[in-house]
Amino acid sequence: MKVCWTPEAEDDRSQIFDYIAADSPRSANKIDELFSKAAARLADHPQYGRAGRIPGTREVVAHKSYCLVYEIEQDTVWVLALVHTAKQWPPVAD
C-alpha cells in the first residue's frame, strides 16, 4: 500500500515541527522521524492501529504525545491528522 498525507495532516506535522524546533531543532527532527516511521509502517501493516474514535478511521501512536489518525481506501493509507494526545479528539463541533 502507499501512504499519503492529506494537506491537513501535513499542516499538523509542520506546526508540530515548528513548535518543537523553536526550542530544539534536534528534537523536532527526531520526532518528525518518528512520524515518518509510523506512517511507513502502515504501508505494510495498515491494520496496525486501533479502531479510531471517528467511524471509518484508525489511530496509531507515533510518539507518547502524538497520534496519527488515518483511513484505508483501497490501496492507499490516508493520514488525515496528527493529533496531540492531550487535545480533544475528535474536535467538538461549534
pLDDT, tens digit (0-9, with 9 covering 90-100), for 43-81 = 999 998 899 999 999 999 999 999 999 999 999 999 999
CATH number, domain containing residue 41? 3.30.2310.20
Q: Is residue 94 part of a domain?
A: no
Residues 6+ apart with CB under 8 A from 55: none
Residue 41 has pLDDT above 80, yes or no: yes
Residues 6+ apart with CB under 8 A from 21: 27, 28
Q: Is residue 89 part of a domain?
A: no
**pTM for the whole thing?**
0.89
Q: Is residue 27 part of a domain?
A: yes
CB 84 within 8 A of CB 66: yes
C-alpha cell at 42: 502502515
What average pLDDT does the structure give for the chain? 93
Structural domain including 8 reads: 2-84
What is the amino acid identity at position 59? E
Residue with the bigger pLDDT between 90 and 11: it is: 11
Structural domains in the chain (count):
1
